[in-house]
Amino acid sequence: METRILGNGGLEVSAIGLGCMGMSQSYGLPGDKGEMIALIRHAVDRGVTFFDTAEIYGPFVNEELVGEALAPVRDQVVIATKFGFGRDPNGRPGLSAVNSQPAHIKQAVEGSLKRLGVEVIDLLYQHRVDPNVPIEDVAGAVKELIAEGKVKHFGMSEAGAQTIRRAHAVQPVAAVQSEYSLWFRRPEEEVLPTLEELGIGFVPFSPLGKGFLTGAIDANTQFTSNDFRNIIPRFTPEARQANQVFVDWLRGLAESKGATPAQIALAWLLAQKPWMAPIPGTTKLTRLEENIGAADIELTADDLRDIESAVSQIEVQGARYPEALEQRTYL
């Protein structure tokens, strides 16, 4: 698989990475640990070198899973993890509150290093911007961790353009991770132009629209009770029914290219900028192979124009997050 460079610090990753969150939470029941380790190692065998996790995934257990799976090939891969959420009374990170106090960042990194079983974190993201802590203090704390040899590169997730600029002035940002796909394109407004100007890489998460762009989900799909999509406005049965036109169009294009809807969605991302590396997640070997196959699909200039024309005429129904979660993004 081709590789791409994120940021000006030479962080080299596979063009398509692997988001590991769903192996432990959010999309139904967690995967079998042995099967997930085998899946991650198969990804390495197929050329994937970029793996994404976070302390809050599980919580904690996803980092442990990723660390164990990648231990035999540690020197061949890039492991990204994240800090940024507070602790509940039991010491577990939770979505109820963000916390990017410098002391907390350093505490979180020590925990991540131990769970991952590594001496240095390749890419450390602030998971969400903390409005109560100046971003200069956050970047400064990560800069100290880089100087100590505990972190190699600094990243941010779902941050706004001005916050990215301020952070980058203190400690160069290698990559920004935000949701971006054919059916969620907000980063194009301000974030992507800012990243191009500053020489920062971009890592689209949910590049397949939380599974919807694969074509495997319709209005009749039943999610398990612990599936995060149950609370997402865009995934109500009514919204899925309305949005089916999007997938039907995507499927038609895919068939004309001898590909799948997911592969077209990923190939479109890869064609946007050479400094983008999407991280689709999966718990299934067949989906992993399908996603990796997207790297071999070339979309012509005409294809890209046709996609742009079609997408501009389709209005996606439903917000991507509940309002309380959306308020924490693009700060």
User: Active-site residue numbers?
Assistant: 57
The three-class DSSP label of residue 230 is helix
Separation of alpha carbons 206 and 3, rounded Å: 20
Cβ within 8 Å of residue 147, ≥6 positions away: none
Q: Chain-centre distance of CA 331, in angstroms?
A: 18
Separation of alpha carbons 28 and 229, rounded Å: 9
Q: Tell me the CA end-to-end span of the chain in Å, nearest whole number.
A: 35
Separation of alpha carbons 109 and 273, rounded Å: 31
Separation of alpha carbons 181 and 232, rounded Å: 16
Separation of alpha carbons 187 and 48, rounded Å: 25
Determine how β-strand 93-98 pairs with β-strand 173-179.
unpaired
Separation of alpha carbons 53 and 42, rounded Å: 17
Strand partners of residue 313: none
For residue 203, give the amino acid letter. Answer: V
For residue 62, give the amino acid letter. Answer: N
Q: What share of the chain is helix, strand, coil (3-state, %, to 5)?
A: 45, 15, 35
Separation of alpha carbons 103 and 290, rounded Å: 42
Locate all alpha helices (DSSP H) within the chain, ordered by sequence.
33-45, 61-70, 102-116, 135-147, 161-170, 191-198, 237-256, 261-272, 285-293, 301-312, 323-326
Strand partners of residue 155: 125, 175
